[in-house]
């Protein structure tokens, strides 16, 4: 599934070295209140998240609303500073003396935001928005605007028609294409797509997804694809990472996770997924209740309060990400799951194909 890797002059470690690897990322937001407006609690938005992204692959991140997907993306872009954890980009630690600076990283890593309208400056034309970042990095005006025209064409918008329009004069799908073009203007290697198609109509969504696929192979891109739409993630991703309340609960190749999810949360998530395929109908109980408050997450395994299999051990310690306990080993990238209980992992509702 992973795209063939042609050599990029900026490639440093070769195809085997992950493009991005994240270790122990943490972000706690203070919650203020009380009489003196002091910090009374913390939201553990991202708690000890580690993963890596290989060159040329698409890593999908899924999870319920509020589980910390966007926070992770913003931490990666350094739009906010992490409380702990390290980010290594193609072998270079980011923001450390031995590695590359945040700005150097940002030239190689870009992000597309969910809301196509608010992520464009309403007072700039499409061409101005796209040319903006290169110009700020010193590209001459003429060259930057020529490049903007080329990019517009590459995302399927006629530059003669759209270059001089303002955001409110475009449709949501067209604007999102412009946002993608803008992200590509700095010629990044990794693009983070945070719910990039979530606000679009289904038909437009499909077009944009296809465009993303084309661009990926054309520019040798690596994607971090964040979405709560399981079908879209399945369509786009090579590997999937499932998050719950700021932690990673399961990760692995897309076929394995979709065919045989091990974590009870992943299974419940999939059970609530709308599907037309009768083979995929499940007997698993869908998720009930709201996710627990991230301000006071449960001890140990965070899913235990909604888990049908929860035992004492689940309250005592947080399960580490590890190979599934049933011993089944597949080729390729490892399938890892954070669950103490073999019986919970093995519980086969019916996510198997008939």
Partner 1 sequence: MLVFALRRLLQAIPILLGVSLVVFGLVHLAPGNPIDMLMPPEASPEIVAQMKAAYGFDKPLYVQYLLWLMRALHGDFGLSVFNATPVWGQLVTALENTFILAILGAALGFALGIVTGLIAALYHGRWPDKLASAIATAGVSLPHYWCAIVLVLACAVLHDWLPAQGMGDDSLPIWQRLDFLVLPVVTLSLIPMGVIGRLVRATVLDILGQDFVGALSAKGLTRWPVLRHIIKNAAPPVLALMGLQFGYLLGGSILVETVFNWPGSGNLLNLAIFRRDIPVLQATILVLATFFVLLNLLVDIAQAAIDPRIRR
Partner 2 sequence: MSDATIDTAQRVLPAADAPAAPAPGYWKSVGQRLLRDPVTIIVTLMLIGILFITLGAPLVTNADPYAGSVLARLKPIGTPGHWLGTDETGRDLWTRLCYGGRLSLLAAILPVTISLVVGGFLGILAGYSGGWVNTIIMRTMDVFYAFPSILLAVAICGMLGNGLTNSILALGVVFIPPMVRVAETVTTQSRSLDFVEAARASGTTTLQIIRHHVLANVLGPILVYATSLISVSIILSAGLSFLGLGVTPPEPEWGLMLNSLRQAIYVQPYVAALPGVMIFVTSMCFNLMSDGLRSAMDVRLNK
Ligand X SMILES: Nc1ncnc2c1ncn2[C@@H]1O[C@H](COP(=O)(O)OP(=O)(O)OP(=O)(O)O)[C@@H](O)[C@H]1O
311 contact choice in Mg ion, partner 1, ligand X, none (CB below 5 to 8 Å, kind-dependent): none
Q: How far is it, in rounded angstroms, from Cα 300 to Cα 297?
A: 9
The backbone torsions φ and ψ at residue 85, rounded to the nearest 5 degrees and listed phi first, read 110, 160
b/e sequence 276-290, b meaning 16+ C-beta within 10 Å? eeeebebebeebeee
Contacted by 132, from ligand X, partner 1, partner 2, none: CB < 5 to 8 Å by type: partner 2
**Count of other CB atoms within 10 angstroms of residue 174:** 20
Segment 40-59, which members bind ligand X (CB under 6 A)? 43, 45
Nearest distance from residue 38's CB to partner 1, in Å? 11
Upper half-sphere CA count for residue 308 (Cβ side, 13 Å): 15
Site string for partner 2, 72-111 (x = CB under 8 A): --x--x-x----------------------xx--xx--xx
Contact with Mg ion (CB under 5 A) among 70, 72, 110, 176: 70
Task: Give me the sheet containing 84-89, strands edge to edge.
Answer: 38-53, 20-33, 84-89, 92-93
* 68 binding ligand X? (CB under 6 A): yes
Minimum CB–partner distance for residue 115 and partner 2 (Å):
5
* Strand, coil or helix: 39: strand
* 71 is an interface residue for ligand X by CB under 6 A: yes
DSSP-derived 3-state class of residue 287: coil
**Least distance CB 295 / partner 1 (angstroms):** 16
Structure tokens at 233: 């993630």
Site for partner 1 in 19-58 (CB under 8 A): 33-37
DSSP one-letter string for 195-207: STTTTS-HHHHHH
Cα 115 to its chain centre, rounded Å, is: 15
Any contact of residue 107 with ligand X (CB under 6 A)?
Answer: no
Indicate the SS3 state at residue 47.
strand
Contact flag: residue 85 with ligand X (CB under 6 A): no
C-alpha to C-alpha distance for 270 and 268, rounded to whole angstroms: 5
Residue 71 binding: pick among partner 2, Mg ion, ligand X, none (C-beta 5-8 Å cut-off by kind): ligand X
Q: How far apart are CA 336 and CA 60, in angstroms?
A: 15
Work out what residue 67 binds among ligand X, partner 2, partner 1, none; the CB cut-off runs from 5 to 8 Å by kind. ligand X
- Min dist CB 66 to ligand X, Å, is 4
What residue ranges bind partner 1 (CB under 8 A)?
A: 33-37
What residue ranges bind partner 2 (CB under 8 A)?
A: 74, 77, 79, 102-103, 106-107, 110-111, 113-115, 117-123, 125, 129, 132-133, 136-137, 160-162, 164-166, 168-172, 175, 179, 182, 185-186, 199
């Amino acid at each position: 599934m992973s795209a063939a890797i042609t050599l990029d002059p900026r490639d440093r470690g070769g195809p085997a070295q992950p493009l991005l690897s994240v270790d122990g990322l943490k972000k706690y937001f203070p919650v203020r209140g009380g009489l003196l407006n002091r910090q009374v609690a913390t939201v553990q938005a991202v708690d000890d998240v580690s993963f890596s992204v290989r060159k040329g692959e698409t890593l999908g991140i899924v999870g319920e609303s509020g589980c910390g997907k966007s926070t992770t993306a913003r931490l990666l872009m350094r739009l906010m500073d992490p409380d702990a954890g390290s980010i290594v980009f193609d072998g270079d630690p980011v923001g450390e003396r031995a590695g590359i600076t945040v700005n150097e990283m940002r030239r190689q890593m870009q992000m597309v935001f969910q809301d196509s309208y608010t992520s464009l400056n309403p007072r700039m034309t499409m061409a101005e928005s796209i040319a903006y970042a290169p110009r700020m990095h010193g590209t001459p005006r003429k060259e930057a605007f020529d490049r903007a025209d080329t990019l517009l064409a590459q995302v399927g918008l006629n530059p003669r028609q759209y270059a001089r329009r303002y955001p409110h004069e475009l449709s949501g799908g067209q604007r999102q294409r412009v946002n993608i073009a803008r992200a590509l203007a700095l010629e990044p290697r990794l693009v983070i797509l945070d719910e990039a198609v979530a606000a679009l109509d289904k038909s437009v969504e499909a077009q944009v997804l296809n465009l993303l696929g084309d661009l990926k192979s054309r520019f040798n891109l690596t994607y971090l694809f964040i979405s709560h739409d399981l079908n879209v993630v399945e369509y786009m991703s090579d590997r999937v990472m499932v998050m719950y309340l700021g932690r990673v609960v399961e990760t692995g190749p897309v076929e394995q996770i979709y065919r045989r999810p091990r974590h009870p949360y992943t299974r419940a998530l999939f059970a609530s997924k709308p599907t037309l395929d009768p083979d995929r109908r499940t007997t698993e109980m869908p998720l009930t209740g709201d996710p627990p408050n991230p301000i006071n997450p449960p001890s140990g395994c965070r899913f235990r309060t909604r888990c049908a299999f929860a035992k004492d051990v689940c309250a005592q310690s947080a399960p580490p990400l590890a190979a599934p306990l049933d011993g089944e080993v597949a080729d390729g990238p490892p399938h890892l799951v954070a669950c103490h209980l073999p019986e919970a992992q093995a519980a086969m509702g019916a996510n198997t194909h008939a």
